[in-house]
Amino acid sequence: MNLKKLFLAAAVMLPGAMMAQGQTDWSKPMTDRFDLHGYAQAGYNYQNQQSGDVSTYKLYRVLFWVNGNITDRWSFRFMHDFSSVPQEFFTSYRISDGKQLNVRFGQFKHGFSLENQLSPTKQELISVCSQSIAWLTACGGDPLTGVQYGRDLGLEVFGEVLDSKLVYTLGLMQGAPINKVDNNTEKDFIGKLDIRPMDGLRLVTSCYLGTGHALAASAFNPGIAAGDDYTRNRYSAGFEYKSEPFNLRAEYLSGKDGKAKSQGWYATALVPVMKDFDVIASYDYFDKNVDMKVDQTNFTLGVQYWFYKGCRLQLQYTGCDCQAEKNYSMLQAQVQVAF
């Protein structure tokens, strides 16, 4: 059985397996089994760039989602960004009695990299993603892939073993733009290992192995034309450490699109200086094609104030050192309201 048939068979059999084993108390009111969440992020952005200064208010995201527990093992999520498109719709089933083995089918944030899994409501930077994550998870920038928001349609197996000190993810993903049918016959493999040797520390490595279908030509990868299928592989290794004095997250990422290699790394630190008030610093380097030397380095310094649970004010300055274009800087402010 080829991968496409296996993928389809798993999707068809999954609901039946859930109904056969899951249990729930249907006497409970619907509100006890469904949770509604949402957040909005909006602010101001000033940027002095080569083509002219930009001064604008921005609506970054307006997301609502519902989590539902259909049985004690079977759940689902639907998420919509009202500033863009529906982003997630998936169902998950817990096969084991504990957390060791779970399966998920639908459209969701895939497992490549450490940072891609983090919610924008928890990330330190107003721009959210590092350059490497934005490019290599198709959150924006690469004409070959378009914008996929770090998500994909597919089938994923995940779980926690060794007293939750090892978290694993294995996925067979479509590799096409979200909310679209597949644009080639290949499926992409994503694997991630998340090792947690002590409280507050995570060591994460992941890979993405697959075949892309170019949506448009890219000046950073002239060997691939629009409509071409090409090898699309990615690798990452990083860590995250959280403590009362400070939080630190760093990651190295590399990609291979056809013959073009890209690579980058980032390190982001958060230091609480008083109750609900944090100082943030970040270093972010990325080269879209190491042979063309089109690297860019961003230095960010900022502050944030949490004025209510899930709600904050942020102010950040970013200096951008570019090889391919004129250097520029940004001043950003954002308010976040979440529930």
pLDDT in tens, 277-294: 999 999 999 999 999 989
1 pLDDT above the threshold of 50: no
* pLDDT for 23: 59
Return the higher-pLDDT residue of 209 and 19: 209
- Is a pLDDT exceeding 70 seen at residue 12? no
Q: What is the mean pLDDT of residues 117-137?
A: 95
130: burial class by Cβ within 10 Å (0-12, 13-18, 19+)? buried
Phi, psi at 248, each rounded to 5°: -140, 130
* pLDDT at residue 269, as a whole number: 98
**Confidence check: pLDDT of 10 > 60:** no
Mean pLDDT lowest among 16-30, 40-54, 297-311 = 16-30
The closest of 327, 267, 287 to 124, measured between CA atoms, is 267
pLDDT for 201: 98
Please report which confidence band the pLDDT of residue 24 belongs to, taking 50, 70 and 90 as the band edges: low
Whether 20 has a pLDDT exceeding 70, the answer reads: no
Question: 25 or 261: which carries more pLDDT confidence?
Answer: 261
Q: Is the pLDDT of residue 7 over 50?
A: no
Contacts of 274 (CB under 8 A, 6+ apart): none
Section 65-74 average pLDDT: 93
Mean pLDDT of the residues in the chain: 91
Give yes or no for a contact between 107 and 178, defined as CB atoms under 8 angstroms apart.
yes
- The strand pairing partners of 233, in sequence order, are 209, 256
Burial, 243: exposed, middle or buried (Cβ in 10 Å; 0-12, 13-18, 19+)? exposed
**Contact between 35 and 20 (Cβ < 8 Å):** no
The predicted-structure confidence for 29-45, as pLDDT tens digits, reads as follows 666 788 999 999 999 99
What's the rounded Cα separation, in Å, for the pair 144 and 214?
4
